């Protein structure tokens, strides 16, 4: 698969300078998982990972692409994660399958208030450590008021810690299910899975 990026101009609503009175806050996190990088990529780039199980009134949406295809994690797709005291809306930027994905938040995205925190970009890097192990690195850039940065960082460290824990549990469950399916298929192929009377 080849790298793709949005052919549409991102325009002035994405990016731009840090507003006066704000500082860019950067949060980096890394997780290691006992699954192949292809499994990790597939899980984190499936829109259903984010749209299913959302507790109302929070919601994640992906708009359909201009040609009518369902939206998802592909360049140019508009999406929003919204709920009380938050509205994170943006566009999927560059996508390099099994390697990298970024989401560029639009002007007007905020957490709690436009006066406190404005997310700018969310990036993920995927790396294969071995055929059965992978690493996920995340970077979140947010413009915050200087005094609010430490609080924003603390809240996000907890959120992303919880994300890592949930991801580890879900992917471990998927890996166990996949191993079971392979074992059952192998038994059926060699005939050892047949029942005798």
Confidence of residue 196 (pLDDT cuts 50, 70, 90): very low
- What does the block give as tokens for 69? 């295809």
Q: 15-32, pLDDT tens digit by residue?
A: 788 999 999 999 999 999
Which one is predicted more confidently, 76 or 4? 76
In a domain, 11, yes or no: no
CA dist., res. 159 & res. 186, Å (int): 40
Mean pLDDT for 71-96 is 94
In a domain, 195, yes or no: no
Mean pLDDT for 78-106 is 95
> Where is average pLDDT lowest: 19-23, 74-78, 170-174, 188-192?
188-192
In sequence order, what E strands does 34-72 have? 59-62
Q: How many CA atoms lie within 13 Å of 9's alpha carbon, on the beta-carbon side?
A: 3
Domain enclosing residue 132, as ranges: 22-190
Confidence of residue 2 (pLDDT cuts 50, 70, 90): low
Task: Output the pTM of the full model.
Answer: 0.86
- C-alpha distances (whole Å) from 33 to each of 75, 97, 124, 132, 161 are 26, 18, 14, 9, 14
- Write down the pLDDT at residue 53: 78
- Write down the pLDDT at residue 44: 96
- Write down the pLDDT at residue 114: 94
In a domain, 80, yes or no: yes
- Write down the pLDDT at residue 179: 79
- Write down the pLDDT at residue 185: 87
Percent residues over pLDDT 70 in the chain: 89
Query: Which among 118, 116, 66, 73 is positioned nearest to 97, based on CA atoms?
Result: 73
pLDDT at 189 over 80: no
In a domain, 157, yes or no: yes
Question: How many distinct structural domains can be found in the chain?
Answer: 1
In a domain, 107, yes or no: yes
Q: Looking at residue 121, which CATH number applies to its domain?
A: 3.30.530.20
Contacts of 93 (CB under 8 A, 6+ apart): 5, 6, 10, 75, 102, 103, 104
In a domain, 162, yes or no: yes
pLDDT at 49 over 80: yes
CB 110 within 8 A of CB 126: no
**Within 10 Å of residue 8's Cβ, how many Cβ atoms?**
10
Q: 97-148, pLDDT tens digit by residue?
A: 999 999 999 999 999 999 999 999 999 999 999 999 999 999 999 999 999 9
In a domain, 12, yes or no: no
pLDDT at 9 over 60: no
């Amino acid at each position: 698969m080849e790298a793709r990026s949005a052919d549409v101009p991102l325009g002035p609503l994405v990016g731009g300078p840090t507003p006066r009175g704000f500082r860019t806050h950067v949060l980096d996190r890394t997780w290691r998982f006992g699954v192949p990088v292809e499994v990790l990529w597939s899980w984190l780039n499936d829109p259903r990972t984010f749209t299913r199980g959302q507790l109302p009134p929070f919601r994640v949406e992906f708009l359909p692409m201009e040609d009518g295809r369902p939206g998802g994690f592909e360049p140019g797709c508009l999406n929003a994660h919204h709920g009380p005291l938050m509205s994170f809306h943006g566009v999927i930027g560059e996508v390099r399958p099994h390697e990298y994905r970024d989401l560029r938040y639009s002007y007007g995205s905020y957490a709690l208030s436009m006066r406190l925190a404005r997310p700018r970009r969310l990036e993920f890097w995927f790396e294969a450590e071995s055929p059965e192990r992978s690493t996920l690195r995340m970077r979140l850039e947010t413009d915050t008021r200087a005094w609010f940065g430490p609080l924003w960082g603390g809240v996000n460290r907890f959120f992303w810690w919880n994300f890592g824990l949930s991801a580890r549990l879900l992917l471990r469950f998927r890996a166990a299910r996949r191993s079971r399916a392979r074992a059952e298929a192998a038994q059926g192929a060699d005939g050892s899975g047949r029942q005798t009377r």
